[in-house]
Structure 1
Amino acid sequence: MSGSGTAAALYAATISAASITAATPEAAGEKRHHLKDGKGFTNPWDSWHEMSGLAIGRAMAWRKFSGKGKSPDTTPPTVTVVKPSFLPSRTTSTLRATWLGHACYLVEFPGGLRVLFDPVFSERCSPFSWLGPKRYTKAPCYIEDIPIVDAVVISHNHYDHLDHPTIIKIKNKHPNAHFFCPLGNKHWFTESGVSQVTELDWWEERDMVLKTKDWSEKHAATVGVKAGTKAEDKHDILEARIGCLPCQHTSARTGLDKGRTLWASWSVQSGGKKIWFGGDTGYRAVPELPEEADDYGPDHDYPHCPAFKEIGEFRGPFDLGLIPVGAYSPRFIMSPMHANPFDSVNIFLDTKCKRAMGIHWGTCE
């Protein structure tokens, strides 16, 4: 039997509707983020400002031409890259989160569950290997270096969050990994040859039960299994609840499919710990202001996205928040869909996260 075939025989996941229906905001059932023609999604809040790709391109080009636009210095050294150390087995009593660049995190839950968020290991965030935004910070590891992946959670379909070569490598290296994505994205996975996919709408949850044979004699004794019982005769059962939640962003893989598939933040609960993954999100739409203006000053009271307080109220608190903070300049273009440090702190407070780690920074041009 091949290596991946052996892995396939060792464990399997069962995905089912949540055993207990979690509380949701009263307006959630209205599905206001669904377009009425059924052909896509929108951000249904006053904190969102729609700007076309053409308008964004023109504004960015003018800033560069006028000298207002400044590119960050990505000359090495930039972000220090440390080779990560992953647990060799599922035996752990603590929550561990390892940043793997941009929005990618591997989270190791107490009890053994391993979840990979928005994995991108390619050199470019693009449909082309020779064109598009390029990494200026080297990946700290590769898919082949990660010993266990049970679930892969995708926030949306932008190339810096959903990377085809990376997904295929995960499928080949970890054939039992189950993929979770927002509505409309399942077709992309099945077209790519990935069949173990669950797509969800905002505020929906699924229970994941993972039956493994990753036993040691010591661990077996702690859960009441007779010492000396053969590993192949017993199953180790891991349980998780995975929830799809709102965020303020958009989606596209081409210039013609903006907003056709949903974007989301996510919650994952397992082993007595619960985390929130922000994916990619804005907090408030800020108009064009003088460069020196403080858009959080008393003269600039702009609406902020109410979804984060709802997440904190109905699904929090969270032991850890993975919160985006990057790609927020210029503010009048980026603020509806990307958070600056002040936005990120407010998102942290709204969602009731006890601790936070930053994502979506220090990786791509």
Structure 2
Amino acid sequence: MSPPHCTVAKLDFGVLPVPDDDTQSHHVLGKDERHVRFQNPYPSAGPTVYPLPTALKLLRGSITGKMPSPSIKNAADVIPVSKQSPHLNPPSPSQTLRATWLGHAAYHVAFPSTNPDSNVTGLRVLFDPVFESRCSGVQWAGPKRFTPAPCTSSEVAPNIDIICISHSHYDHLSYNTISEIARQNPGVHFFVGLGLKSWFVNQCSIPDKNVTELDWWEGAELNLSRGEETIKAQISCLPSQHASGRTLGDKDTTLWASWSIESSGKKIWFAGDTGYRVIPSELEHHPDFDSIDDYGKEYEDLPRCPSFKEIGELRGPFDLGLIPIGAYKPRWMWSSVHANPRDAVEIFKDTKCKKAMGIHWGTWVLTSEEIDEPPRLLREALKSCGIEETGVFDICAIGETREF
């Protein structure tokens, strides 16, 4: 296929509103005092989580029964998969924002056409695509998909203009998926956090000009010529509370991020993967740790990540938020980097999203909550916060398209 002409211009820092505090506080020097690493700069993240101790805790939890593996026997009933994605194949112009869940954190979003009489589709964005069976460095080991992908990377590739990547973990960044999409659609443009561009250029042989690397609070303007029309968009790299790494030796050497995109009068926010506030690790030894309400009175004063309110105040409101609701149990282990449904509702409120869809669940067994728990707890969280339980912050079938 002949790719449309695309230009991306990085905006000078401060052109878009930024927080008053030190926006570089997430940059730290490595032990050699030369190579930059990244950190979560707020108390809400707790101490740094390291891969090897985490793996040992997982092993111990599995042996002792503290981290049971959830059943996936009824996965098809709990998380239906639709193979019908009408705006993906073939694409068609629309005056609405259309979002299609492709499993886990992967979402395809089609923005409205540039004008009501246009026969040209608006900007088409893909977030964190992973279509492999396993989210792992190899396809013979690692977490195996228990719900099928609604399409392949080859099928979706022609209908993408840009791809935004939240971070380098295997359930959000796949070498096979990225390489196949780039081969099928050589004009696609990638937006990534600091330090990650070299992986795309060196590992995937993607041209340097097709990858834009941004720091938190930085932005870029995109102009895309499709036919006789020009599609304009503003892309912003924004904070999240997480980590990065693909091996034992590259922890936190690339930046994790959330993303906002504005085009054709619509604005969305993709949270990627994030925690919100850390639960004390000593709860590991609590006799009834699994039933503790960490939003109860005893824990109501735990520090919250301030970045989300800053995102809402400085870059919001958003027509749609894509916010993680899964991979959170046990809380004493995962709360610093993964949001549970109540965290997700608080993030939704902080970021001033008008509507939201839940991501980061229903695809791989990564933690110990039952596969049907995230949507159930999401409804309970919405109710406890006085928000409608359906139609505001919702879930959908994999492969289903919602319009906003």
**Structure 2 length as normaliser, TM-score?**
0.81
**Larger CA deviation: 235-244 vs 76-85:** 76-85
Where do 1:151-170 residues align within 5 Å? 151-170=162-181
- Whether the 8 Å contact between 2:161 and 2:188 is mirrored in structure 1 is yes
Whether 2:86 is the aligned partner of 1:85: answer yes
Question: What do the CA deviations read for 1:92-123 (whole angstroms, capped 9, x no partner)?
Answer: 11100000000000000012100000000011
1:56 to 54, 57, 71: 54
Question: In the aligned structure 1, how far is the partner of 2:214 from the partner of 2:315?
Answer: 16
Question: What do the CA deviations read for 1:137-170 (whole angstroms, capped 9, x no partner)?
Answer: 1001112222411000000000110100000111
Question: In the aligned structure 2, how far is the partner of 1:275 from the partner of 1:28?
Answer: 25
Question: In the aligned structure 2, how far is the partner of 1:266 from the partner of 1:90?
Answer: 25
Whether 2:233 is the aligned partner of 1:209: answer no
Whether 2:327 is the aligned partner of 1:327: answer yes
- Whether the 8 Å contact between 1:103 and 1:117 is mirrored in structure 2 is yes
Whether 2:18 is the aligned partner of 1:39: answer no
- Whether the 8 Å contact between 2:266 and 2:319 is mirrored in structure 1 is yes
Aligned residues: 336
SS of 1:281 mapped into structure 2: coil
1:354 alignment counterpart: 354
- Whether the 8 Å contact between 1:120 and 1:160 is mirrored in structure 2 is yes
1:238 to 206, 231, 241: 231
- Whether the 8 Å contact between 1:28 and 1:203 is mirrored in structure 2 is no
1:109 alignment counterpart: 111
Give the Å deviation of 1:28: 4.4
Give the Å deviation of 1:89: 4.1
- Whether the 8 Å contact between 2:72 and 2:146 is mirrored in structure 1 is yes
1:138 to 142, 148, 168: 148
SS of 1:198 mapped into structure 2: strand
Give the Å deviation of 1:256: 1.0
Give the unaligned 5+ runs of structure 2. Answer: 114-121, 284-288, 366-404
Give the Å deviation of 1:56: 1.5
2:15 alignment counterpart: 21
Give the unaligned 5+ runs of structure 1. Answer: 214-234
**Larger CA deviation: 304-313 vs 281-290:** 281-290
Question: In the aligned structure 1, how far is the partner of 2:132 from the partner of 2:292?
Answer: 37
SS of 1:13 mapped into structure 2: strand
**Larger CA deviation: 12-21 vs 200-209:** 12-21
Larger Rg: 1
Q: Which amino acid aligns with 1:48?
A: A
Give the Å deviation of 1:348: 0.2
Where do 1:224-235 residues align within 5 Å? 235=228
Give the Å deviation of 1:282: 0.3
Runs of at least 4 residues off by over 6 Å = none
2:377 alignment counterpart: none
SS of 1:240 mapped into structure 2: strand
Question: In the aligned structure 1, how far is the partner of 2:200 from the partner of 2:177?
Answer: 12
Percent of aligned positions that are identical: 51
2:63 alignment counterpart: 65
**Larger CA deviation: 15-24 vs 140-149:** 15-24
Q: Which amino acid aligns with 1:97?
A: A
- Whether the 8 Å contact between 1:18 and 1:241 is mirrored in structure 2 is no
Q: Tell me how large the CA RMSD over aligned residues is.
A: 1.4
Give the Å deviation of 1:90: 5.2
Question: What do the CA deviations read for 1:30-74 (whole angstroms, capped 9, x no partner)?
Answer: x00000334210000000122222222222222222222211111
